Structure 1
């Protein structure tokens, strides 16, 4: 995989997740589970590295952005800090 770009982790709450799995369906299912919890810039395909087993994908999470389904499940939303804009944090940067 390519090196992580520092813009993707320049602020607290931004996360880069590299997934390695046996097959594309498994890797994409993990990404889907992450996207159900947090704002996620998702990959639409997996990659294969020559000489390495399985497949890989990278997705980018913003843990600062609430997902509507969290409140539906009774999970408390984090309080906004004074420097965050109304309605949540900045958009996810792929």
Structure 2
């Protein structure tokens, strides 16, 4: 959460600059979700994404992002809770 003056609730400025806005189409109806994974490394982030694919249909991320000076990486994928991966 960004507070007035550009600081987030932890008192650090602009911690989440790399996060893209969530588009209305991403959550246009119940059952659609945006999932953002924060992990120590690429391998962990992609492992979490792989676990999600075993349960729900997703639009997978092909890469992770990293903000210089911040620990770890982030990955964003989109879920459709109404579609199963085997359908």
CA–CA distance in 2 between the matches of 1:3 and 1:66? 26
What is the total number of aligned residue pairs between the two structures?
69
Alpha-carbon RMSD across the aligned residues, in angstroms, is 1.2
**Cα offsets for 1:19-65 (capped at 9, x unmatched):** 00000000000000001110000011111012211000100000011
Work out whether 1:65 is the aligned partner of 2:80. no
Which residue of 34, 37, 53 maps to 1:19?
Answer: 37
Work out whether 1:41 is the aligned partner of 2:67. no
Work out whether 1:30 is the aligned partner of 2:48. yes
What's the TM-score once normalised by structure 2's chain length?
A: 0.75
Structure with a larger share of its residues in helix: 1
Question: What are structure 2's unaligned runs of at least 5 residues?
Answer: 1-18
What's the TM-score once normalised by structure 1's chain length?
A: 0.69
CA–CA distance in 1 between the matches of 2:75 and 2:47? 11
Question: What are structure 1's unaligned runs of at least 5 residues?
Answer: 69-86, 88-94
Instruction: Report what 2:73 is aligned to.
Output: 55
- After TM superposition, the runs of 4+ consecutive aligned structure 1 residues lying more than 2 A away are none
